[in-house]
Amino acid sequence: MPDLWSDLLPYPWNVAAAGVVAAALLFGFVGVSTFFAIWAERKVSGRIQDRLGPTRVGPFGLLQSLADGIKLVSKEDHAPTAADRFLFKLAPYLAFCASFVGFLALPFGHGLVAKELNVAAFFVLAVLSSEVFGVVLAGYASASKWSLFGGVREAAQVVSYEVPRALCVVVPVCVAGTLNLNTIGTQQAGWFWNWNLFHDPFTFVAFFVFYICATASCKRAPFDLAEAESELVAGFHTEYSGIRWSYFFLAEYGSMFAVSGLAALLFLGGWHTGFLPAEATALLGFWGGNLLNVAVFVGKCWALVLVMMWMRWSLPRLRIDQVMMVCLHYFLPISCVLLVGVCLWVLLVPAGAAEVVRYGLAFGSVGFVLLMFASAFRAPPMSAPPGRLPGAWDGRPTPLGADASAKRG
């Protein structure tokens, strides 16, 4: 990034200008993404629950987040009397800073990164894991039992899920031989079978384990015990209102995009379409290629975030002991096995066999995805005979009102 400015400005100032521009761009990206992600979340939840979602503000309700934002900014900035006011005010900014700083090392295109670090994958993990501190502080400083429970649950959950998440990041890093995300992305150039996802069975499984652990460490449903509203009111942000509350939301969506970006870079080919034989910058020139790169990368991030939303509105919330057990009994051993397995695979499996497995996995997955899409279009329209309930009661339609009359009788 500083190289782009070195023609215009002398030495210390080009670095400073690059820093300011990168920070502004990233802040803009996080803000705009959150803006539309909140709208998308409400639309997705609405459609899944057979509602319309927001429709009033702007076309398709697109400006709903703007209206919500104006409402949040104009709300009273309120803190409980017993709260530790300094920590109460500090906590949302800490959470937001942690999830924002993670973007510093994420490349959006070939060399398009705010600061290219040799340990970028490790750095992103490290920074994202410190987001929990803001949540714990919020829980403590609110001087409310619901908040404290939420904060302590969040601490236990995130610290546990960090371990399998980090182990799953190491799996593609073993394949790539570097922690530099830019290099890892560049290695996956070309056709989609070059993606680390299809490198071997272990990276294939590691992607799914990583994605679930990342969902858990973003405290998204079905792992959102820190804000389980059916038991803890709103968990750690029970006492927050207005702009501070919205910083927690920015932090949550920011870290969702950050882990999705990390997953895209480590497993899904980063900024590569998968359908071009070479690096896009080599085919379309610097600006055209990078425009395509950024669009592809942001598209992949959005796809993964949308899957998180889909999971949130489809799956019921786990209990806290189930959340911990899933991590410690299943994900931790699985990720250890994956790590050992991928090392053995890289060392022992001959190149020809590895290639066969790679093509098999790649074309198998693509075929599976195409089949799923086809089946969605082939599915018969959901209709019920008159007087019967539609939907899931396919085999034995229930007459409307039969249940109630049976109970009464």
Partner 1 sequence: MSLPVVLFALVATVTAVSALGVVLARNVVRMAVWLLFTLVGVALLYFLLGAEFVGAAQLLVYVGGTLVLVVFGVMLTAQGPLRELRTRPADWAVAGVLGVALFGLLVTVSFRIAAPPPTDNPLPGPGPLGLSFLGVTEANPTGPVTGVPDGPPTPRTPVAYLLPFEVVSVHLLVVLVGAAYLARAKRRVRA
Kindly state the smallest distance separating residue 23's Cβ from partner 1, in Å: 15
User: In b/e form, how buried is each residue of 369-404, taking b as 16+ CB within 10 angstroms?
Assistant: eeeeeeeeeeeeeeeeeeeeeeeeeeeeeeeeeeee
Measure the CA–CA gap between 7 and 3, rounded to whole angstroms.
Answer: 8
Kindly state the smallest distance separating residue 65's Cβ from partner 1, in Å: 30
- Count of beta carbons in the 10 Å neighbourhood of residue 281: 21
How far is CA 178 from each of CA 104, 118, 269, rounded to the nearest angstrom? 18, 8, 15
Measure the CA–CA gap between 193 and 274, rounded to whole angstroms.
Answer: 8
Looking at the Cβ atoms of 141 and 362, the one nearer to partner 1 is 141
Measure the CA–CA gap between 254 and 1, rounded to whole angstroms.
Answer: 22
Kindly state the smallest distance separating residue 123's Cβ from partner 1, in Å: 5
Looking at the Cβ atoms of 72 and 84, the one nearer to partner 1 is 84
Measure the CA–CA gap between 72 and 300, rounded to whole angstroms.
Answer: 30
Task: Report which secondary-structure segment, H or E, holds 335.
Answer: helix 332-348
Measure the CA–CA gap between 263 and 257, rounded to whole angstroms.
Answer: 10
Looking at the Cβ atoms of 81 and 383, the one nearer to partner 1 is 81
Looking at the Cβ atoms of 75 and 89, the one nearer to partner 1 is 89
Kindly state the smallest distance separating residue 163's Cβ from partner 1, in Å: 10
**SS3 of residue 388 by DSSP:** strand
Looking at the Cβ atoms of 38 and 101, the one nearer to partner 1 is 101
Measure the CA–CA gap between 187 and 197, rounded to whole angstroms.
Answer: 13
DSSP state letters, 125-173: HHHHHTHHHHHHHHHHHTT-HHHHHHHHHHHHHHHHHHHHHHHHHHHHH
- Count of beta carbons in the 10 Å neighbourhood of residue 156: 17
- Give the residues lining the site for partner 1 (CB under 8 A): 11-12, 15-16, 82, 84, 86-87, 90, 94, 117-119, 122-123, 125-127, 129-130, 132-133, 136-137, 140-141, 143, 148, 151-152, 155-156, 158-159, 162, 166, 177-180, 183
Looking at the Cβ atoms of 137 and 228, the one nearer to partner 1 is 137
Kindly state the smallest distance separating residue 162's Cβ from partner 1, in Å: 7
Looking at the Cβ atoms of 103 and 193, the one nearer to partner 1 is 103
- The one-letter code for the residue type at 207 is F
Kindly state the smallest distance separating residue 121's Cβ from partner 1, in Å: 9
Structure tokens at 111: 């060399």
Looking at the Cβ atoms of 177 and 360, the one nearer to partner 1 is 177
Looking at the Cβ atoms of 37 and 94, the one nearer to partner 1 is 94
Decide: 255 and 128 in contact? Cβ < 8 Å. Answer: yes
Of 293, 255, 292, nearest to 111 by C-alpha is: 293
